[in-house]
Amino acid sequence: MAFKRIMMTALASVILLLSHSTFGESAEERDARMEWWREARFGLFIHWGIYAIPAGEWEGKPTVKGGAEWIQSKDKIPAAEYAQLIDQFNPIQYDADDWVQLAKQAGMQYIVITSKHHDGFCLWDSAQTEWDVASTPYKKDLLKPLAEACRKYGIKLCFYHSIMDWKHPDYGVKKDWRGNADNPTPDMDVYTTYMKAQLKELLSEYGDIGVLWFDGEWEDAWTHERGIDLDDYLRGIDPSLIINNRVDKGRQGMKGMNKDGSFRGDFGTPEQEIPHTGFPGVDWESCMTMNKSWGYKVSDQNWKSTEKLIRNLVDIASKGGNYLLNVGPTAEGLIPAPSVERLQAMGAWMKPNGESIYGTVASPLPELSWGRCTVKNEAHSTVFYLHVFQWPENEKVTVPGLKINPTGAEASLLATGKSLKWTPAEDHLQIEVGPLAPDPIDSVIKLTVKGPFEIKGTH
Ligand code: GLC
């Protein structure tokens, strides 16, 4: 008995630990802090920096396999040589208002821009370094107008920030092409102080910042202890901040979710992939490119179709995650036309169908042969948004596993409001949808179930 009691107490304290985050916040406080982000579901990632000048080609040769923002590392370009790019960076075509409007029209609710990528170059006028936009012919801070436009259109501004820094002399992993090559004793404490001062600038001078999105945490110079210290520091400046899991050392590669243990970070960050299932009780966001590179790359014309992008968004939402979709603007400051076209097309779908994405949670239904499902729990009903990718030849959409009261539901096409007939059965429900798919990519049926229902079969 005594043993059992001890076990129960131990179990209770584990549950208690899990329901509080590591920095003493209650579950309710955490929910309130995460609310806008969970509601948003769809954001724009912007990878922009001076690597957009070479755009994946060095000395006339297409040399970068993968992301064009990695060119300095891939080609082992000595820091002094790479630094010459600063004299050429002059994005006179940049129009922050246009960018934010495009995101808004696409149905996105937040923007994450690379304040600093691995090459260390800063898109704002930082008092901590000359390796920034203020030292280019353009001179002007690039983040200020973006912050202004975000305020104007009601979009949350968020900053990506690389921990790894190929420029700073005190960053703790030496390579002969990096800016620390000539420093016999790089000092990570000095570097961390620099990074904190920069982050403080970003948190104080650009209005309300939604997310700090860290990256480049994988090298040994960055430790779990440094992650905790940085996380504490930032939450001290702004307690409402959301911070991704790359601030700490818990991430398991590109899968992006944390290994077992206690690590900082509010959400997991799967990269270039969509997990097979969701992660109940854990927030996550898949970040993905439209072609294959994060930064602008002239040769990469490998664009995903609009169909693929819309279905990715729906797939992710159906598993309870967010979709952070990337664009890589040119050195002149333009978002490439194929990206613009795709974002506009996504917006055209989101306009009548956005309700089936925003504020939805993961589907409790078993796997669906014809598409995906997103769900909204309302006070007296549950709304199932049935995303039909493959329109059924027999003109009937079968919802497996859903058992409801024969009078307790309403079904309609979300985009037009046209009401649809449905019939319940013991272990499924069938909706009569007619012969023509209203949307070749994803036609959404809104099924509102009033009162209780049962789900049979596993998810
Ligand atoms: C990476 C890459 C990078 C890109 C990013 C986006 O790990 O190093 O270039 O910024 O992740 O998630």
Q: How far is the CA of 215 from the centre of ligand 1 (A)?
A: 7
Task: Pick the residue whose CA is nearest to atom 11 on ligand 1.
Answer: 215
Fold agreement between 3-356 and 371-455: no
User: Could you tell me which CATH number the domain at 3-356 has?
Assistant: 3.20.20.80
11/15 Cα distance (integer angstroms)? 6
Contact 141, 133 (CB under 8 A): yes
Å from CA of 247 to ligand 1 middle: 14
Q: Could you tell me if 369 and 410 are in contact, meaning their C-beta atoms sit under 8 angstroms apart?
A: no
Quick one: tokens of 241?
């901040």
CB neighbourhood size of 289 (10 A): 23
CATH class of the structural domain 371-455? mainly beta
Percent with pLDDT over 90 in the chain: 88
The neighbouring-strand residues paired with 161 are 116, 214
* Residue-level pLDDT at 22: 61
Helix, strand and coil content of the chain, in percent to the nearest 5, comes to 30, 20, 45
The yes-or-no verdict on residue 46 having pLDDT over 90 is: yes
- The structure tokens 């006179």 sit at 92
Average pLDDT in the chain: 93
Give the Cα separation of 80 and 178 in Å (integer). Answer: 9
**pTM, whole model, 2 decimals?**
0.94
Tell me the per-residue pLDDT of 86-135, one tens digit each, with 9 for 90 and over. Answer: 999 999 999 999 999 999 999 999 999 999 999 999 999 999 999 999 99
What is the CA(118)–ligand 1 centre distance, in A? 9
Out of 121, 247, 271, give the residue to mutate to test ligand 1, the one with the largest number of ligand atoms within 8 Å of its CB: 271
Asked whether the predicted pLDDT for residue 289 surpasses 90, the reply is yes
Report how far residue 232's alpha carbon sits from residue 279's, in angstroms, rounded to the nearest whole number: 25
Distance CA 232, CA 152 (A): 31
Listed by start position, the domains of the chain span 3-356, 371-455
Spatial distance between the Cα atoms of 299 and 254, rounded to a whole number of angstroms: 24
Q: For the purposes of burial, counting CB atoms within 10 Å of the CB of 62, is it exposed (0-12), middle (13-18) or buried (19 or more)? A: middle
pLDDT over threshold 90, residue 183: yes
pLDDT band at 437 (very low <50, low <70, confident <90, very high): confident
Q: Which residues are within 8 A (CB) of 344 and not within 5 positions of it... i.e. 6 or more apart?
A: 102, 105, 106
DSSP letter string over 257-299?
A: PBPSS----SBB--BS---SS--TT--BEEEE-SSS-SS--TT
When pLDDT is cut at 50, 70 and 90, the band that residue 233 belongs to is: very high
- The CA radius of gyration of the chain, in Å to the nearest whole number, is 24
Q: Report the nearest atom of ligand 1 relative to the CA of 269.
A: 12
Distance 445 CA to ligand 1 centre (A): 36
Spell out a b/e string for 387-407, using b for 16 or more CB atoms within 10 Å of the CB, else e.
bbbebbeeeebbbebbbbeee
Residues in contact with ligand 1 by the CB-under-6-Å rule are: 47, 67, 69-70, 215, 271, 287, 294
Q: Using one digit for the tens of pLDDT, what is the confidence trace for 52-74?
A: 999 999 988 888 888 999 999 99
Position 405 confidence tier, pLDDT thresholds 50, 70, 90: confident
120 CA from centroid of ligand 1 (Å)? 14
| pLDDT confidence tier of residue 21, bands split at 50, 70 and 90 | low
Do 389 and 372 meet the contact criterion of CB atoms below 8 Å apart? yes
For residues 370-398, give the mean pLDDT.
96
Q: Which residues, in sequence order, are bridge partners of residue 410?
A: 448
pLDDT of residue 458: 55
Confidence at residue 64, expressed as pLDDT on a 0 to 100 scale: 80
CA separation for the pair 179, 373 (Å, rounded): 50
187-190, long-range: CB within 8 Å, 24+ apart, which pairs? 188/221, 188/226
153 touches 53 (CB < 8 A): no
Q: How far apart are CA 109 and CA 285, in angstroms?
A: 14
